[in-house]
């Protein structure tokens, strides 16, 4: 096991959990915000398990996923705007619970949690199918077009999974107001996909032909 990679991943994981908790519970003004604990549980427990599996079975993919520095100028603005969106959505969710503006019923929260876990399973399958996935837009050495499995249905199944994950998060937090904020993720991801496909068409052999075979980007028969 790569000790340096392990500690790098562990530090990022713990830092992410702490920041996430602060964004939710400080605005809520209480640790009794059970929906916040539910989201943290279904988000970070599977993330920890997946990180351990990647550490053992595919450390190179884990290293790629930890590399979050974008080189594409257009993508830097997408990442920055996404960060603002996430902070706003989580802070509003905490405030929404604190002041009881518009709080979803418990059954809706649990339904959203099930949807979130489905998105996680989908995300894990994408990682299994495509070992070239990194968090930045790039064409890697010896990269080839993946066109089987989920990639035979839509060209960007990772974004399908993230849309499910991100739009279910505010519902797990019982905050429909935050859900409206998170809808901004759709135009942001559309912008990211446009730039990503331009980079892939220019640098990845066979990607243009792949686009002709697989017509839909994220949602079959819709987008």
The answer to whether 150 and 126 have CB atoms below 8 angstroms apart is: yes
The answer to whether 185 and 166 have CB atoms below 8 angstroms apart is: yes
Lowest mean pLDDT among 2-11, 87-96, 144-153, 179-188: 2-11
Burial class (CB in 10 A: 0-12, 13-18, 19+), 1: exposed
- Phi-psi bin for 134: left (phi > 0), alpha (psi -120 to 50), beta? beta
- pLDDT 10s digits, 22-69: 999 999 999 999 999 999 999 999 888 888 877 777 777 777 667 655
Residue of 10 and 107 predicted with greater confidence: 107
- pLDDT 10s digits, 153-172: 999 999 999 999 999 999 99
- pLDDT 10s digits, 63-104: 766 765 555 566 677 788 889 999 999 999 999 999 999 999
- Reported pTM: 0.87
Lowest mean pLDDT among 76-85, 133-142, 187-196: 133-142
Distance CA 90, CA 36 (A): 10
Lowest mean pLDDT among 22-31, 101-110, 197-206: 197-206
SS3 of 135, please?
Answer: coil
Q: What are phi and psi of 86, to 5 degrees?
A: -60, -45
Q: List the domain boundaries for the chain.
A: 3-213
Q: What is the CATH number of domain 3-213?
A: 1.20.120.1630
pLDDT of residue 198: 85
Calculate the alpha carbon distances from 205 to 91, 152, 197 in Å.
43, 17, 12
Burial class (CB in 10 A: 0-12, 13-18, 19+), 147: middle
Predicted confidence band of residue 134 (pLDDT cuts 50, 70, 90): low
């Amino acid at each position: 096991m790569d000790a340096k990679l392990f500690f790098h991943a562990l530090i990022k994981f713990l830092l992410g959990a702490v920041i996430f908790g602060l964004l939710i519970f400080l605005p809520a003004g209480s640790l009794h915000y059970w929906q916040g604990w539910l989201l943290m549980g279904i988000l970070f427990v599977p993330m920890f398990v997946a990180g351990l599996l990647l550490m053992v079975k595919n450390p190179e993919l884990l290293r790629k996923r930890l590399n979050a520095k974008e080189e594409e100028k257009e993508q830097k603005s997408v990442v920055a705007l996404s960060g603002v969106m996430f902070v706003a959505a989580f802070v509003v969710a905490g405030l929404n619970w604190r002041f009881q503006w518009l709080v979803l019923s418990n059954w809706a929260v649990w339904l959203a949690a099930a949807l979130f876990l489905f998105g996680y399973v989908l995300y894990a399958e994408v990682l299994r199918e495509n070992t070239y996935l990194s968090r930045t837009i790039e064409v890697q050495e010896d990269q080839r077009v993946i066109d089987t499995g989920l990639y035979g249905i839509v060209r960007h199944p990772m974004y399908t999974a993230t849309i499910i994950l991100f739009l279910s998060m505010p519902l797990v937090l019982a905050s429909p107001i935050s859900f409206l904020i998170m809808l901004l993720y759709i135009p942001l991801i559309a912008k990211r996909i446009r730039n990503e496909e331009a980079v892939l068409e220019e640098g990845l052999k066979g990607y243009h032909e792949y686009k002709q075979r697989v017509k839909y980007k994220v949602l079959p028969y819709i987008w």
